[in-house]
Amino acid sequence: MATLPMARPVFVSPRGEPPSETLRARLAATRALTLALSAPLGAEDMAAQAIEEASPTKWHLAHTSWFFETFVLTRFLPFYELFDSAFGYCFNSYYDCAGARQPRPKRGLLSRPPLERVLAYRRHVEAGLERLFDQGVAAKGEAASLIELGVQHEQQHQELMLADILALFAANPLRPAYRAAPPRSLGGAAEPLRWIGYAGGIVRIGRDLGEGFSFDNETPRHDALIHPFAIADRPVTNGEWLEFVEDGGYRDPSLWLSDGWAAVEREGWEAPAYWERRGDAFLAMTLEGLRSPEPAAPVAHVSFYEADAFARWTGARLPTEFEWEAVAAEEPVAGNLLDGGALRPTPPAESFEGHPRQLFGDVWEWTGSAHLPYPSYRRPAGAIGEYNAKFMCDQHVLRGGCCVTPQGHIRASYRNFLYARQRWLFAGLRLARDVSR
């Protein structure tokens, strides 16, 4: 199995500005990793779009360059020339303040520009960024902060690229694999789930300026009141989800929120996304093709609706995002992430020792919290303010990263968010429950 290039970890100065040479090296490493992730694909693979939420790989390659061109180079590099003035329309994602754009569901129609021109676009943008560093402009201040944001943005798209490739290959009747599957045993069932109690109280949540990079929706740091609760020591597994399926979980409306039950009936859900019934068993589409789900591995590709229904079936609930962060803030940021190369959720490597396991990596964990602004949150000015703020409505927060999240990109305060119906990302769940005082 080929080893993926390592994305360098995030280092920041005490003021939160990345040191110039470290930022330059991480920028180069991040851009190289994006290309490495696309290397197993053909030009035909990179042009197709499976579902509305997903984007073609070619579009990701261009959009991450458009981001640097639009928000950094045109502003800070004198005499910078646009590679192609039409690319702004083609590769803007959702920034209304940056102009009109190709509708998201129709990105797969962009058969032109061809892949070779998109790769030339990447090289053009990278040359501009190199000149910016050579001139010392990228070493400090707003330029450095926006380049850092661009690096973090591209890391997000590395994860999205792999999730979108999986959605594409799952829709292909040939069920192709992104890479060959190494031999491995499915293993047995997971260790019994254990509960870890927390006393609750007033806890500090989020990040402040000067603590290192964070997205605006992680700020400002503030107090939150948490009541006594218990949290599961590990995520819900494939084996446990199979019990839910076989017990009629997808046929019992009493377990579901109204919108969730409507989705079950409308979409015909019978199992997580990419699970296919074969006789009396299931196979699941993965980046290594169709495989039997590992019983002890965390279940993935479930929506908020499904996670909520499963929790209700067990008599538990989803943790709030504040409960999750209070627990995760005391644990090391390490786990089954992109750099480990598994590209799938895996059973826990360690035994239970009184601490929660697999908080970081494997699967994003749904919380019961809506994606809303923190107290005293201030939306950044201009188009950058659209990055998160415009999505603080009708979406739910997920925490912890997943098996295709780059190392150095995730932290305890990181807030991902999705609509309740979405399930193409590597999203799973961890149970929580109330504890009497």
Q: What is the pLDDT of residues 188-242, one digit of tens each?
A: 888 999 999 999 999 999 998 778 899 999 999 999 999 999 999 999 999 999 9
pTM summary value: 0.93
CB 287 within 8 A of CB 165: yes
Confidence at residue 5, expressed as pLDDT on a 0 to 100 scale: 29
Per-domain boundaries in the chain: 20-170, 195-434
pLDDT > 70? residue 160: yes
In terms of DSSP bridges, do strands 427-429 and 364-370 run parallel, antiparallel, or are they unpaired?
parallel
User: What's the token pair of residue 202?
Assistant: 């007033």
- C-alpha 69/C-alpha 211 separation (Å) is 27
Query: What pLDDT was estimated at residue 352?
Result: 81
Give pLDDT tens digits for 132-152: 999 999 878 999 999 999 999
410 or 185: whose pLDDT is higher?
410
Cα separation, 402 vs 414, in Å, equals: 12
**CATH of the structural domain 195-434, one choice from 3.30.470.10, 3.40.50.150, 1.10.3720.10, 3.90.1580.10:** 3.90.1580.10
Task: Report d(CA 310, CA 289) in Å as an integer.
Answer: 26
Pick 328 or 3 by higher pLDDT: 328
